[in-house]
Chain A
Amino acid sequence: MNQFSIVGKDVPRNDARAKATGSAIYTDDVKLPGMLYGQILRSPFPHARILHIDTSQAASLPGVRCVMTGEDTPKVKYGNWRLFPETQDEYPLAIDKVRFIGDEVAAVAAVDPDIAQEALSLIKVEYEELPGVFDVDAAIKEGAPIIHDYCPSNISVNRKIKYGDIDKAFAESDYVREDTFHVHAVSHAYLEPCAAVAQCDLDGRITLWTSTQVPYIIQCLLASTLQMRENDIRIIKPFVGGGFGGKMELRTWEFCAAFMAKKTGRPVKFTLTREEEFLTGRRRHPMTIHSKVGFKKDGTLTAKDLKIYLDGGAYNAMGPTATFLCGNFGAMLYRYPSYRFHGQHVYTNKPPASAMRGFGAPQSIFATETQMSLAAEELGLDPLDIRLKNAQVSGDTIPDVATISSCGFIEALNKVAEMSDWREKRKTLPKGRGIGIGCYSFISGGVFNWFNTQYPFSAAEVRAFDDGTAHLLTMAADIGQGCDTVLKQILAEAFGLTMEDIRITSADTAITPQADLGAWGSRLTLMNGNAVLDAANKIKAQLFGAVSARFNLNVIHEIECKDGKVYPKGRPDRSLSFGEAVAMAQKINRGEPLVARGYYTPRNKGLVTPSFSFGAQVAEVEVDQATGVVQVQKFWTAHDCGTAINPMAVEGQLEGSIQMGLGYALSEQFVMEGGKTLNTNFLDYKMPSSMDVPPSEVVHIETYEPEGPMGAKEAGEGLAIPTAPAIADAVCHATGYRCKDLPITPEKILRAKRDR
């Protein structure tokens, strides 16, 4: 069935050798002559007015080269949702007010990090403390403290979706249930702390090396906040040690490095500590989810009414997108004949929540999945059957929002049931052991242009050479997920070349073609892959012309690139090598090199995405009756990502997702008190280690996504969704404790047992 040579193969990563030998350069490894070291002064209060800042002592400390506060900056607000400027609510350094513990107040650059640190302690800030709000309920109460003056309600984003006659549908339902869920904040916990190094050229232009998922967005927002032209800013993404959504906005240290490099004429580096990352870093949105669902007696869904409050923290960050997406995902997986959603993004005096792997879906789908299992119990159905009965299929639509293209959901449900011996185990497992299910669907990139880019969503430049090689240039950001390798595979396949024949340059805004919106929403394989194919096809048209002329081919001949050759289909005897064909095309063009640009922008694809992934996961657990400790015995996963361009990389995504989902379900959480994060190291923030990860089996459901390059779609984020609901369902099966409030802790399990 697989007609591909390189696509679909377990090709080792493009950068694996550099990473295995320690020669891969990450941002903090960049060292430039005369470089200064920056540090950030942060607010000790969750909410306060800044009355006065005195930087004079700090500035006169020997070795200090620059001290800056918000007053020194052009005072331009920024935020990723450029399409709606009112959502842009952040300054690089606080102006007048601080809104969370850790909010950035001032910055110092000095000849060494210790001097910069000492200088921070010499900055005197006079604050007037203001009352803070630390959860959604407190923030939306009448008379609650106002966090941003422009937003007296503290509700910064409202999003509604409605279709079908929902009131009638509920009235005609045989069974209606209402539940409230609370899901918590977790950390991206990428291993590489954020860092940035800026250098100012003699002509005043800025080059910034930064650990980011979104070079183009950083370029644009850095330009606007510095009041410079976009083309005067060059962003280079070195190797990045993970992001998971936590590195997709312009951040203070990027701005300050650039600002101070310009001001001092010397390169400036900022590197965050792990403590800063935990204390102030972005996190997954906590949500309060009220969900009402209706069914017919036989388990057929009739209606869903979903109301979600997102605890956004002090700034919008990527909250608007999370607000949109949790509503869209509320309508995914199953066929809801009527649906109503109201999402509200609420400011609180905590570190801002933002994008994190799954982007609104892990929260929303945790509620969906838990309710499906609850309803199945009440209706006397197998949780698997209620899902099969309502599962979305290819061609289904969410009116005005999305159409489902390829869909292997039902196959995935059946497969995972078979692999896990679901029906038998659901009946026969002894007390203390349980089996549970969780499902997911996710987007292959977003289609809504919130950044208001004036460029295509994805772009690629391909250069073909007469030595039989090609060079791919793309702004796509490989942050560890492996898009450099996947894009190379796509190009190698299109040209019939090997991986060794392709060179790639990526994520340098001065060299790679405008533009690419970045690594988020699982968009790169589909969107950038399509741009690569577009460019490749333009080159191939020229090569085909050359071959056609060389062999005097009838115009009806189809020509292809394969095994390093270009030839009419079925006639490999009439072939030119790829290099010869390039040389000939170049001759025809009187020496002009063979270069093509390719683009992809999704059009007419609704409001969400061109294509969805689907999948199901079963977890088996054992719960210690005395201690309430949950031990996951095994995971089984069946997932549909269309064509797996690189199955080994897809497996890697799955295995990483399971680790993250396991942490989300059982062990990871921020311990907060009065807006302060108390667990600020890896000892107290319990991310699963090698000892915690259970065995897992996976099956890939074959589908072909017509909108994706060579049939591919999303593979990296969706898999982070099903693990928590699957474990919660299994814990309920084992103990009778139904978790509606993550994480699932021994304490909650034991308390439920006692209360029963």
Chain B
Amino acid sequence: MKQVITLNVNGAPYAVAVYPSQTLNEVLREELNLTGVKLGCGSGDCGACTVLVDGLAVSSCLSLAVDMEGKAITTVEGLAPSGEVLHPIQESFIEKGAIQCGFCTAGMEMSAFHLLKYNPSPTEAEIKEAISGNLCRCTGYVKIIEAIADAGHKMANTGGETS
């Protein structure tokens, strides 16, 4: 039996009818068409599906949608809501060449977002640690780590997040 829940996604409330067995990933992608959220493994091992739930980085493939009632969810689509001005993390990923196939990118950015929120000027070791649950097969992580450090600087200089 489906039940109707209210999800607060990227600052807007959505009433959706979901099965108790449905994951947050499925609901975001299939019901809300937020396909920026990826599915790389479905078992919590790759990080491609990472979103923020009440400010914490979470694997959306392992979270049940029904548990999300009343929680604030941020997806990659929420990083730059206007679509015109990008978030510094996104800018840095673009400029530093941190994106190749792009399938890990949304998850990486969300993990970076989570890190920089609590630790605006992380060391390289802290960045590596923060994205250690996000697999990337293309970049060898080097430029991703550079991009996150760069975004940290940008955010410090502009006095925090832009969104």
Contact = CB atoms under 8 A, between A and B. Distances in A.
Interface of A: 10, 12-13, 15-26, 28-29, 31, 188-193, 239-242, 244, 273-274, 479-482, 648-649, 651-652, 654-660, 681-683, 687, 689-691, 693, 696
A274 B128 contact: no
B105 A20 contact: yes
29 contacts: A16-B99, A17-B90, A20-B86, A20-B91, A20-B109, A21-B83, A22-B34, A22-B35, A22-B36, A29-B29, A191-B101, A191-B136, A192-B38, A241-B103, A242-B138, A274-B40, A274-B42, A274-B46, A482-B100, A648-B97, A651-B142, A652-B139, A659-B140, A682-B41, A682-B135, A683-B43, A687-B135, A690-B144, A691-B129
Interface of B: 29-30, 33-43, 45-46, 48, 75-77, 79-80, 83, 86, 90-91, 93-95, 97, 99-106, 109, 127-129, 131-145
Contact of A655 (B34, B129, B131, B140): B140
A562 B133 CA distance: 47
Given A240-B101, A656-B100, A22 B93 contact: no
A189 B101 CA distance: 13
A208 B88 CA distance: 36
Contacts of A651: 97, 142-143
Contact of A22 (B75, B100, B104, B143): B75
A22 B101 contact: no
B142 A696 contact: yes
B103 A22 contact: no
A682 B45 contact: yes
Contacts of B83: 21
B100 A683 contact: no
Nearest to B129: A691
A752 B128 CA distance: 33
A96 B75 CA distance: 48
A544 to B, nearest CB: 36
* Chain B interface SS verdict (over half): loop
B94 A17 contact: yes
Contacts of A188: 137
Nearest to A480: B101
Nearest to A657: B140
Of A24, A193, A241, most B-chain CB atoms within 10 Å: A241
Given A190-B137, A191-B46, A655 B142 contact: yes
A21 B40 contact: no
Nearest to A187: B137
A648 B40 CA distance: 26
B101 to A, nearest CB: 3
A21 B80 contact: yes
A690 B107 CA distance: 14
B46 A479 contact: no
Contact of B39 (A22, A28, A659, A690): A28
A10 B143 CA distance: 13
Of A20, A24, A242, A244, most B-chain CB atoms within 10 Å: A20
Contact of B45 (A12, A31, A683): A683
Nearest to A244: B137
A241 B109 contact: no
B16 to A, nearest CB: 16
B41 A22 contact: no
B143 A681 contact: no
Contacts of A656: 100, 137-140
B43 to A, nearest CB: 5
A652 B138 CA distance: 8
A191 B43 contact: no
Contact of B42 (A13, A241, A273): A273
Nearest to A685: B45
Given A191-B135, A655-B140, A690-B134, A21 B100 contact: no
Contacts of A480: 100-103, 138
Contacts of B140: 652, 654-659, 693
Of A18, A21, A240, A651, most B-chain CB atoms within 10 Å: A21
Given A16-B93, A21-B77, A681-B41, A689 B135 contact: yes
* Chain A interface SS verdict (over half): loop
A274 B91 CA distance: 30
B30 to A, nearest CB: 8
Nearest to A684: B45
A692 B134 CA distance: 13
A356 to B, nearest CB: 12
Given A651-B142, A687-B137, 8 more contacts: A17-B86, A21-B80, A239-B102, A654-B140, A658-B140, A681-B43, A689-B133, A690-B144
A10 B40 contact: no
A655 B137 CA distance: 10
B99 to A, nearest CB: 5
Nearest to B145: A690
B88 to A, nearest CB: 11
Contacts of B133: 689
A23 B46 CA distance: 20
Contacts of A24: 102
A13 B93 CA distance: 10
Q: List the 3 shortest-distance A-B pairs measured between CB atoms, nearest first.
A: A22-B36, A480-B101, A241-B103
Contact of B48 (A13, A191, A660): A191
Contacts of A240: 101
A239 B35 CA distance: 13
A244 B41 CA distance: 18
Given A480-B102, A690-B132, A659 B94 contact: no
B137 A660 contact: yes
Contacts of B75: 22
Contacts of B36: 21-23
Contacts of A482: 100
Contacts of B80: 21
Contacts of A26: 35, 38, 103
A273 B144 CA distance: 26
Contacts of A31: 30, 33
Contacts of B91: 20
A21 B76 contact: yes
A484 to B, nearest CB: 12
Contacts of B132: 689-691
A290 B162 CA distance: 60
A12 B145 CA distance: 17
Contact of B137 (A19, A20, A242, A696): A242
A20 B90 contact: yes
Nearest to A26: B103
Contacts of B95: 12
A10 to B, nearest CB: 7
Contact of A191 (B42, B104, B145): B104
Contacts of B41: 274, 681-682
B141 A690 contact: yes
Contacts of B102: 15-16, 18-20, 24, 239, 241, 480
B35 A29 contact: yes
Nearest to B125: A691
Given A480-B102, A651-B97, A25 B35 contact: yes
Contacts of A687: 135, 137
Nearest to A687: B135
Contacts of A242: 100-101, 103, 137-138
A634 B36 CA distance: 35
Contacts of A28: 35, 39
A167 to B, nearest CB: 45
Contacts of A21: 36, 76-77, 79-80, 83, 86, 90
B118 to A, nearest CB: 18
B105 to A, nearest CB: 5
Given A21-B83, A242-B137, A693 B142 contact: yes
Contacts of A191: 38, 40, 46, 48, 101, 103-104, 135-138
Of A25, A244, A656, A683, most B-chain CB atoms within 10 Å: A656
B76 A690 contact: no
Nearest to B89: A20
B44 to A, nearest CB: 8
